[in-house]
Amino acid sequence: MALSSLIPSRVKLIDVGPRDGLQNEKTPVPAEVKIELVHRLQDAGVKEIEVTSYVSPKWVPQMGDNVEVMAGIRRQPGVLYSVLTPNMKGFESSVASKPDEIVVFGAASEAFSQKNINCSIAESIERFAPVVEAALAAGIKVRGAMSCTVGCPYEGEIAPAKVGELARLMKNIGVQRVDVADTIGVGTPRKVQAAIEATLQHFDIDAVSGHFHDTYGQALSNTLAALEMGVWNYQSSVAGLGGCPYAKGATGNVSTEDVVYLLQGMGIDTGIDLDKLVDAGKFISDFLGRKPNSRVATAILNKRAG
Ligand code: HMG
Ligand code: MG
């Protein structure tokens, strides 16, 4: 069967801008601006939004307003609101905010696991297990983010076998779906496909999403490579915001605007209104005092101005 025949007819985009996008911003972004961003994303038709994280405010000060942001959101039926919870303390703090889904986040690289969440991969799984169990018992969905599935800022290239092993561990503790993350955006299509292939040993195609940072400008190509495998869930960040505080030099996720344009051009349905999405990206970019980090947003804004 030709790979291209697996290309899905519809794609779900999970905008991680409010969380992955803003977590690394040095100047505090007020809760009301984050809330407005979430509202604009959902008004544009985004059906999944990663809103915030319940991590140590000493480690990631920008996410310290998690409770306030979650409380301020006007929830839209049919939209899934997820939050990151690295341990039981984070999960317990998140419960009152009623997330639809929590995200435990591990890494395929030992060094990154230590830098990001201060424990080994094995220890992280021990910490996640009770979190997953408690979340499922409370009727909350569980996603697992897998960092450094292609490359690590500390260990260099990561073998697909390590990705498969992490996926296996996540599956064993009850994680329902996983993100194959290229944390530092070093991946190219064949390498990303190998990481996804390893993940597919343990998770069904419907339970795998692509999370590609765009540091080296490869994220759209990597998205196309994943589409060819039938992957239909992707995380992206409005205006290309972001970067991980423990992955120095890595830029944001591929911009949601660029992915939507790619998909629309391929006749793949996303349910997202690109013009409204560009407005959402402009809103947050204006607040941050910079231009959207998105070729498509730039082109559309230039066209409007002209
Ligand atoms: P730790 O220091 O090992 O934790 O941090 P600990 O259990 O020893 O506790 C130390 C202190 O932290 C205590 O406070 C705890 O109460 C507090 P103290 O007594 O010193 O005042 N604490 C917490 N506070 C709030 N919320 C919590 C929490 N847990 C402990 N949940 C920890 C472990 C994971 C908390 C820490 O390492 C941390 O917060 N790391 C931040 C990780 C992070 O947010 N990284 C960015 C997100 S991941 C990402 O961007 C990658 C992704 O996009 C995919 C990709 O692209 O690769 C998902
Ligand atoms: Mg990320």
- How confident is the model over 34-90, as pLDDT tens digits? 999 999 999 999 999 999 999 999 999 999 999 999 999 999 999 999 999 999 999
Cβ of 253 below 6 Å from ligand 1: no
Distance from residue 237's CA to the centre of ligand 2 (Å): 9
**Residue of minimum CA distance from atom 14 in ligand 1:** 56
Distance from residue 17's CA to the centre of ligand 2 (Å): 10
Cβ of 114 below 6 Å from ligand 1: no
Distance from residue 303's CA to the centre of ligand 2 (Å): 30
**Residue of minimum CA distance from atom 22 in ligand 1:** 56
The partner residues of 84 in beta bridges, in order of sequence, read: 53, 103
- How confident is the model over 231-270, as pLDDT tens digits? 999 999 999 999 677 778 789 999 999 999 999 999 999 9
Cβ of 60 below 6 Å from ligand 1: yes
CA angle, 229 then 162 then 154, to 5°: 110
- Can you tell me which residue has the tokens 């604009």? 40
Cβ neighbours of residue 172 closer than 8 Å, sequence gap 6 or more: 125
Could you give the CA distance from residue 249 to residue 212 in angstroms, rounded to a whole number? Answer: 15
Token pair belonging to 181: 């993350």
| Cβ-based burial of 45 (10 A; exposed 0-12, middle 13-18, buried ≥19) | middle
Report residues near ion ligand 2: CB below 5 Å. 20
| Active-site option among 119, 148, 152, 244 | 244
Q: Which of 55, 112, 154, 237 to mutate to test the pocket of ligand 1 (most atoms within 8 A of CB)?
A: 55
Q: What is the pTM of this model?
A: 0.97
Mean pLDDT over all residues of the chain? 96
| pLDDT of res. 33 | 98
**Residue of minimum CA distance from atom 34 in ligand 1:** 117
244 catalytic, yes or no?
yes
State the DSSP code for 55: S
Could you give the CA distance from residue 226 to residue 57 in angstroms, rounded to a whole number? Answer: 34
Ordered by where they begin, the domains of the chain are 2-305 (3.20.20.70)
Q: Is the pLDDT of residue 5 over 90?
A: no
Token pair belonging to 20: 């992955």
| pLDDT of res. 1 | 44
How far apart, in Å, are the Cα atoms of 192 and each of 118, 182, 189, 236, 302?
26, 8, 5, 16, 33
Distance from residue 304's CA to the centre of ligand 2 (Å): 31
Distance from residue 240's CA to the centre of ligand 1 (Å): 24
Among 116, 149, 143, 148, which residue's Cα sits nearest to residue 128? 143
